[in-house]
Structure 1
Amino acid sequence: MSASTLLWGVLFGSIGLGFFLYGKKQQAIVPLVCGVALMVFPYFVSGTAWLVVIGMTLMAIPYFAK
């Protein structure tokens, strides 16, 4: 595990926590699920490029799934 992978994981985990709290407060299922996914997926992805691609995709889903 490299330093960049660790920092991207922390960044996506923090954003995921924000999505999770927002989804819980607004009772919206899409941000809630995307928040949980953003917090969990860095544990299963080892490549930095895949980490960034999957993280950006998960961050964009609530915007397009209104």
Structure 2
Amino acid sequence: MNEELLLTELIGMLPSPTYIVISILFGVIGLYCFQIGRKTTNPRLKWGGLALMFYPYLIGNDTRLLVIVGSALCALLYFWRRS
């Protein structure tokens, strides 16, 4: 009986499939920005791409926060790409 309770608690701590897909999507966008930043020697794109790749590790299982922060980082990278 105790094992079933522990198992349901552990399953509740796992991220949702939506969270995983969105974090992979932002990771791919971050990888692309990082590569472009390295090729063009644009430090803003390079470090912004790294931030976009690794920020999901700092956010818990909150999908809304993941989308908000990722969208904000993508908007910053969009405006920083020309400067």
User: Does the alignment reach a TM-score above 0.5?
Assistant: yes
Tell me: higher relative CO, structure 1 or 2? Use CA pairs within 8 A at least 6 residues apart.
Answer: 1
The residue number in structure 2 matching 1:34 is 48
Give CA-to-partner distance per residue, 1:10-64, whole Å, 9 cap, x none. 0000000000000000000111111000110011112100100100111111233
Q: For 1:52 and 1:63, how far apart are their aligned partners in 2?
A: 16
- Tell me the C-alpha RMSD between the 2 structures: 0.9
The residue number in structure 1 matching 2:18 is 4
**Structure whose CA Rg is larger:** 2
Aligned length: 66
2:49 pairs with 1:49: no
**Which among 39, 54, 59 is matched to residue 25 of structure 1?**
39
Q: For 1:37 and 1:49, how far apart are their aligned partners in 2?
A: 18
2:45 pairs with 1:58: no
Q: Deviating runs (4+, > 6 A) in structure 1? A: none
With the length of structure 2 as denominator, give the TM-score of the two structures. 0.75
Q: Quote the sequence identity (%).
A: 36
Q: Which runs of 5+ in 1 are unaligned?
A: none
